[in-house]
């Protein structure tokens, strides 16, 4: 963040969009894999946000968009670590909304469903069945909509998923 701030005078928007996944029954999950899921999905989001908030507070404005997952709203069997991390991002997003609004900083949670290309599982990314996954371009349209919203309006959360999923 410091390198970016040295190069640019101002950062208006932070989009947190890192995610890793693990699945399987909890007792079968590798502890290092679980720790990595929590570190990337939750701690990475917290640290990136923590690094930029002082700058946004100073400017009395900013927009933080946390790209989360439908997994932050619902749950499935055999995904305890992943869903737990995403529910954590849901909680931090809501808490940050309440904490930062007094500084003119808006925080939005975006909850996409299954995408057209699956997340990497066992080091493989696979296309979903035709007409069964959300196109990345649709997620981008939602992000642009949030970015175009007036600075005195907040969209606390928005979900998006493919009609067949």
Read off the pLDDT of residues 43-52 as tens digits, 9 standing for 90 and up. Answer: 999 999 999 9
pTM for the whole thing? 0.89
Higher local confidence (pLDDT), 123 or 94: 94
Best mean pLDDT range from 11-25, 56-70, 104-118: 56-70
Round to whole Å and give the CA distance between 21 and 119.
7
**Burial of 81 by CB count in 10 Å (0-12 exposed, 13-18 middle, 19+ buried)?**
buried
Quickly tell me which residue has 């069945």 as its tokens: 129
CB 63 within 8 A of CB 108: yes
- 136 part of the active site: no
Instruction: Find the range with the poorest average confidence among 1-10, 42-51, 138-147.
Output: 1-10
Domains of the chain: 12-160 (3.40.50.720)
Bridge partners of residue 67, in order along the sequence: 110
Decide if pLDDT at 120 tops 70: no
Active-site option among 82, 103, 111, 136: 82
* Average pLDDT rounded to a whole number, residues 6-35: 89
Decide if pLDDT at 136 tops 60: yes
């Amino acid at each position: 963040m410091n390198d970016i701030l040295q190069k640019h005078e101002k950062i208006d928007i932070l989009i947190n969009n890192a995610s890793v996944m693990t699945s399987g029954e909890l007792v079968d999950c590798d502890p290092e894999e679980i720790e990595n899921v929590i570190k990337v999905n939750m701690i990475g989001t917290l640290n990136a946000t923590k690094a930029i908030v002082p700058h946004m507070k100073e400017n009395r404005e900013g927009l933080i968009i946390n790209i989360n997952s439908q997994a932050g709203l619902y749950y499935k069997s055999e995904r305890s670590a992943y869903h737990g991390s995403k529910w954590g991002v849901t909680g931090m997003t809501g808490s940050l909304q309440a904490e930062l609004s007094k500084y003119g900083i808006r925080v939005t949670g975006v909850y996409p469903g299954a995408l057209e290309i699956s997340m990497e599982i066992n080091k493989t990314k696979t296309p979903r069945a035709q007409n069964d996954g959300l196109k990345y371009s649709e997620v981008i349209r939602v992000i642009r909509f949030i970015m175009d919203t007036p600075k005195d309006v907040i969209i606390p959360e928005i979900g998006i998923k493919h009609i067949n999923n």
